């Protein structure tokens, strides 16, 4: 079961999502949907409705978690699964860190949403280098946190390589290739 874009936007409002997180989510959805469409043209089989809904809802509980300090990938996933959105919950659970089970022959909805989130800083498309620099400044307050972010950066570059090995443009050209908002 996948909610429509309208239903997702309603849900985001109901959860009291901050405006900046709303703008970020809309841009992540635009990137994720574009990449998925391009990947499907090249033989992948991504569920576009799932990608769009999961990208819109990936930070559903983040506003609340800023206060409670909970893990928003976990609480967001749990809430969505409780609402009956099992598959979206699974994608949201992996939007920060992917599980280790990666199929080398198929790009998953989890990988696309995870990657799109790493290319959007606030509501702007940036390189992975710039996004991880920003993440380090915001969250890299200890040697352990910095090490963890370095590991995550390395994993994300692998996903980037996997996605773009199938596409006819480079990661640097994502911004120009993305269609304008209707």
- Name the site residues for Fe ion (rule: CB under 5 A): 59
CB of 174 to Fe ion, least distance (A): 19
Q: Which is nearer to Fe ion, 151 or 173 (CB)?
A: 151
Which tokens hold the place of 88? 């979206």
Strands 120-121, 124-125: pairing kind: antiparallel
Question: What is the H or E stretch that residue 120 is in?
Answer: strand 120-121
CB of 93 to Fe ion, least distance (A): 11
Q: Which is nearer to Fe ion, 38 or 92 (CB)?
A: 92
Q: Which is nearer to Fe ion, 35 or 62 (CB)?
A: 62
Which tokens hold the place of 58? 């990936």
Q: Is 14 helix (H, G, I), strand (E, B) or coil?
A: helix
CB of 72 to Fe ion, least distance (A): 6
Q: Which is nearer to Fe ion, 120 or 174 (CB)?
A: 120
Closest by CA to 107, choosing from 171, 31, 45, 29, is 45
CB of 60 to Fe ion, least distance (A): 9
């Amino acid at each position: 079961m996948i909610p429509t874009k309208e239903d997702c936007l309603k849900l985001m409002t109901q959860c009291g999502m901050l405006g900046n997180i709303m703008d970020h989510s809309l841009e992540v959805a635009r990137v994720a949907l574009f990449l998925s469409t391009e990947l499907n043209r090249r033989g992948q089989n991504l569920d576009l409705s799932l990608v769009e809904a999961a990208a819109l809802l990936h930070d559903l509980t983040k506003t609340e978690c800023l206060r409670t300090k909970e893990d928003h990938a976990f609480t967001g996933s749990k809430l969505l699964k409780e609402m009956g959105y099992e598959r979206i919950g699974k994608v949201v659970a992996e939007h920060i860190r992917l599980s280790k089970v990666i199929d080398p022959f198929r790009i998953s909805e989890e990988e696309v949403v995870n990657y799109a989130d790493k290319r959007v800083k606030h509501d702007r498309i940036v390189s992975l280098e710039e996004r991880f620099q920003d993440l380090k400044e915001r969250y890299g307050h200890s040697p352990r946190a910095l090490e963890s972010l370095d590991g995550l950066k390395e994993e994300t570059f692998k996903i980037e390589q996997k996605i773009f090995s199938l596409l006819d443009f480079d990661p640097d050209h994502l911004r120009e290739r993305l269609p304008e908002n209707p």
